[in-house]
């Protein structure tokens, strides 16, 4: 069995259980076929010494090293980088002492994790692959900058055994930024198995619309969605809108919603929910809506489809790779008028979509079993275990 070490810039931790959850899901998917261990390091201004936590979740073992940082001081940034490397070194030594020596390193989200993976490769000759999720390469973001960052990123991408972006759109964006590699292969995000189970739908007198996000207005444009919902509420009241999540702009969005003065019991903010709870909401919704200004390949869309629910989404990033007229509606970003028209249409026609077909096709694309198998097969090719 192939031994795989996952490292990542984002990963669930004691400060934020949702941070990089999609990376954990990839690791869990791969653990169905490989011996997978995760090494994650995280800064903390609350501690004075390095702290280590070890978790076992099913077949997946996680080693998390928290390292001390300072929010102020002349050398605070330098100290953070030094402790970052020390944390990885401590975690690596712990894995070695436990007898775990990976056959391959799977780095997630550049650039520093790519440098760590290259460092391991330099001293051990263990090959590494990269999965990228970050939207920073997209033209709209204009956030992939800095000469040194670009050179380091180009270097680690070039020397990787393979690069696995989570959408074709992200692959093109990376290549357009001169991130060249001989072996690009798109790997879908995966959906937790809790979304695969079927449950009876709770009886509702109103139609249920669902939105799940991190409430980052620059990206998710929840206020724009609320504007369209307000216009919708003027002519009909047969729906209930449920928002799941929290984030940097959560209070701002809720306050904005209050000012719009919706009818009672129409808009519900239910806060952060765990995957099982999100799955329950999705299974009881009639359709899902996302009005983002930019995205890569959002997991919430995959989850909705696996639950057999049609989707309204802006045509940004890699979303068009999964949404078409058979399973939803694609609309231009920031166009509140077309969003209003689409909401009106979907409220009257969501039942016309073939829920079982949506579910079946989505499971083929996004289930942990299938995504994990795809990644494991790529490892085998790289390691020469399956040259075909």
The full set of domains in the chain, from first to last, is: 3-190+367-383 (3.40.50.2000), 193-366 (3.40.50.2000)
Question: How far is residue 84 from each of residues 4, 66, 134, 357, measured CA to CA in Å?
Answer: 21, 9, 20, 47
Strands 328-331 and 311-314: parallel
Which tokens belong to 178? 């001169």
Question: Exposed/middle/buried for 242, CB within 10 Å: 0-12, 13-18, 19+?
Answer: middle
Angstrom distance (rounded) from CA 340 to CA 335: 9
Cα–Cα distance, 182 to 190 (Å, whole number): 25
Torsion of CA 256, 262, 268, 272, to 10 degrees: -10
Q: What is the DSSP letter of 13?
A: B
Model pLDDT, residue 235: 93
Q: Give the DSSP letter of residue 263.
A: P
pTM given for the model: 0.89
Looking at the chain, the number of H-run helices and the number of E-run strands are 13, 13
- Per DSSP, the three-state class of 386 is coil
The closest alpha carbon to 83, from 112, 107, 108, belongs to: 112
Residues 6+ apart with CB under 8 A from 93: none
Distance from C-alpha of 30 to C-alpha of 368, rounded to nearest angstrom: 8
Q: What is the DSSP letter of 206?
A: S
Instruction: Give the pLDDT of the chain (388 residues) as one tens digit per residue.
Output: 999 999 999 999 999 888 888 999 999 999 999 999 999 999 998 899 999 999 998 899 999 999 999 877 667 888 899 999 999 999 999 999 999 999 999 999 999 999 999 999 999 999 999 999 988 998 877 788 899 999 999 999 999 999 999 999 999 999 999 999 999 999 999 998 899 887 777 778 899 999 999 999 999 999 999 999 999 999 999 999 999 999 899 999 999 999 999 999 999 999 999 889 999 999 999 999 999 999 988 999 999 999 999 999 999 999 999 999 999 999 999 999 999 999 999 999 999 999 999 999 999 999 999 999 999 999 999 999 654 4
Per the CB < 8 A criterion, the answer to whether 126 and 160 are in contact is no
Q: Is 128 helix (H, G, I), strand (E, B) or coil?
A: strand
**What is the predicted pLDDT for the residue at 19?**
87
Distance, CA of 240 to CA of 341 (rounded, Å): 17
286 in Cβ contact with 209 (< 8 Å): yes
């Amino acid at each position: 069995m192939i031994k795989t070490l996952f490292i990542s810039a984002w990963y669930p931790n004691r400060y934020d259980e949702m941070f990089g959850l999609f990376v954990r899901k990839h690791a869990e998917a791969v653990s169905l076929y490989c011996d997978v261990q995760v090494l994650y390091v995280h800064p903390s201004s609350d501690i004075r010494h390095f702290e280590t936590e070890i978790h076992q979740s099913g077949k997946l073992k996680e080693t998390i090293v928290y390292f001390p940082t300072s929010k102020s001081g002349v050398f605070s940034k330098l100290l953070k980088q030094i402790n970052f490397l020390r944390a990885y070194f401590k975690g690596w030594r712990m894995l070695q002492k436990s007898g775990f020596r990976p056959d391959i390193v799977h780095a997630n989200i550049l650039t520093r994790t790519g440098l760590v993976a290259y460092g391991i490769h330099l001293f051990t000759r263990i090959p590494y692959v990269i999965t990228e999720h970050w939207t920073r390469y997209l033209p709209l973001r204009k956030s992939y900058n800095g000469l040194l960052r670009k050179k380091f990123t180009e270097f680690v991408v070039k020397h990787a055994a393979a690069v696995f972006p989570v959408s074709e759109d992200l692959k093109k964006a990376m290549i357009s930024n001169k991130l060249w590699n001989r072996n690009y292969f798109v790997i879908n995000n995966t959906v937790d198995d809790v979304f695969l189970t079927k449950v009876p739908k709770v009886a509702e007198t109103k139609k249920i619309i669902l939105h799940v996000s991190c409430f980052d207005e620059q990206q998710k444009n929840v206020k724009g969605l609320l504007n369209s919902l307000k216009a919708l509420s003027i002519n009909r009241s047969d729906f209930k809108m449920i928002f799941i999540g929290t984030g940097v702009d959560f209070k701002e969005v809720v306050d904005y919603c209050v000012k719009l003065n919706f009818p009672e019991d129409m808009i519900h903010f239910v806060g952060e929910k765990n995957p099982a709870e999100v799955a329950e909401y999705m299974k009881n919704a009639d359709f899902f809506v996302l009005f983002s200004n930019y995205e890569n390949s959002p997991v919430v869309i995959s989850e909705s489809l696996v639950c057999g629910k049609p989707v309204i989404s802006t045509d940004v990033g890699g979303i068009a790779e999964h949404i078409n007229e058979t399973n939803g509606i694609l609309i231009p970003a920031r166009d509140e008028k077309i969003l209003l028209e689409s909401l009106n249409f979907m409220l009257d026609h969501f039942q016309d979509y073939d829920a079982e077909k949506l579910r079946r096709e989505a499971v083929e694309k996004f289930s942990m079993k299938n995504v994990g198998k795809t990644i494991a097969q790529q490892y085998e090719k790289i390691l020469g275990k399956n040259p075909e």
